[in-house]
Amino acid sequence: MSEPLILGIESTCDETGVALVRGDDLLADRTATSMDQYARYGGIIPEIASRAHLESVVPALDSVLEEAGVGLDEVDAVAVAAGPGLVGSLTVGICAAKALATAVDRPLYGVNHVIGHLAVDKLVDGALPDRFIGLVVSGGHSNILLVEDIATDVRELGGTLDDAAGEAFDKVGRLLGLPYPGGPHVDRLSQVGDGDAIRFPRGLAAGKDKERHRYDFSFSGLKTAVARYVEGAHDRGEDVSAEDVCAGFSEAVNDSLTAKAVRACRDTGCDTIIIGGGFSANSRLRGLIRERAEAAGLTVRMPPLRFCTDNGAQIAALGSELVRAGVEPSDWDFSPDSGMPLTQTWMAPASALVDEGAA
């Protein structure tokens, strides 16, 4: 018998994503983004993002149903991003998902979109390994997760103490006068710069911090070092090579991310690293993690670029894992959780939590 058909809806930030997944196969997916509206503000405006979701969600749904050649009544379960993200944005997707699941009387799963960033890889590279280290890197997160079971057992080994990797890239982009969001621009310049020309500091890499924060990151000191370097050069009337600054900065961020992900694998006996999130589009991260994983005899899996930014496929992919694991659907009245913990894969119903408490 074929696996259930899962409809996934994502609206955590500026992307509206809708997708259909059956098992490990993607049938159709659509993503609309309101990012082009934020360049002049230098950041996302939640009000504009929510309105854009309202306008995009139904056309995206119609389009995936048509592409997959299925009717809404053929959907077996609905999964929707419940967090982390912007409350207004999340609310639009959650309301749509609740309405659709009610209309066809199917179970609803409110899922963690960050864990979805890892689950989406199965749609490209096949079934997920039994256990693995997840490195989730985005504008809001930089975390190392030990995934024992993507549906039911995700543990947080470490994370950033200050800025997320994407956020640090965006800030350095702003410092260098690059357009918002700066991450992809800094990446582009870094590819033509010399990564060894300027040596920027690695956070939490020495002394007591090295052990105390074995799997944690800190990028704010690095960002300050970049700012000082640029200001110092200006004061001395020297030219600054934006390419070399970007390359040196990118090297420092990616050195920390990859070294700690490999260390987490070694410590836990995992043989696979999966990376995900908007920052996993970064060219140096992709190159360096491959290099280091290979040297350590590890397998590294990374979604293609179109699945790095937020999308509906990641939500449907995680939804299908929850259905496979046989967990209880969410209650109908769950609310968005802008700070949903990374150890919480889905909005478990109150009844399941009571059972757990009693056990």
Question: In the set 94, 310, 316, 340, which binds ligand KG4 (CB under 6 A)?
Answer: 310
Q: How many residues sit in the footprint of ligand KG4 (CB under 6 A)?
A: 19
- Beta-carbon contacts of 16 under 8 Å, excluding residues fewer than 6 positions away, are 10, 31, 32, 33, 52, 53, 56, 57, 60, 93
The span from the CA of 57 to the CA of 107, in Å, is 19
Candidates 161-169, 231-239, 296-304, 343-351: pick the segment binding ligand KG4 (CB under 6 A): 161-169
- Least distance to ligand KG4 from the beta carbon of 23, Å? 25
Checking phi first, is residue 326 left (phi over 0); if not, alpha (psi -120 to 50) or beta?
Answer: left
* Site stretch for ligand KG4 (CB under 6 A), options 70-78, 182-190, 216-224, 329-337: 182-190
In angstroms, what is the minimal distance from the CB of 84 to Zn ion?
8
Burial (Cβ within 10 Å: 0-12, 13-18, ≥19) of residue 255: middle
Q: Which does 170 bind (CB under 5 to 8 A by kind): Zn ion, ligand KG4, none?
A: ligand KG4
- At residue 153, what is the residue type? D
Question: Nearer Cβ to Zn ion, position 137 or 245?
Answer: 137
Q: What sections of the chain are H helices per DSSP?
A: 46-68, 87-104, 113-119, 122-125, 165-175, 183-190, 207-212, 220-235, 242-268, 283-295, 312-325, 350-358
CA 135 to CA 117: how far, in whole Å?
A: 10
Site string for Zn ion, 136-175 (x = CB under 5 A): --x-------------------------------------
Task: Report the nearest approach of Zn ion to the CB of residue 268 (Å).
Answer: 24
Q: Is 203 among the residues that bind ligand KG4 (CB under 6 A)?
A: no
Least Å distance between CB 313 and Zn ion? Answer: 12
Of the residues 34, 112, 138, 345, which one makes contact with ligand KG4 according to CB under 6 A = 138
Task: Return d(Cα 104, Cα 81) in angstroms, integer.
Answer: 19
Candidate list 121, 163, 167, 310; residue touching Zn ion; CB under 5 A:
310
Residue among 138 and 254 whose Cβ is closer to Zn ion: 138
Q: How far is CA 102 from the centre of its chain?
A: 28
Read off the DSSP letter of residue 296.
T
Binding site for ligand KG4 (CB under 6 A): 13, 138-140, 166-167, 169-170, 181, 183-184, 187, 277-279, 281-282, 309-310
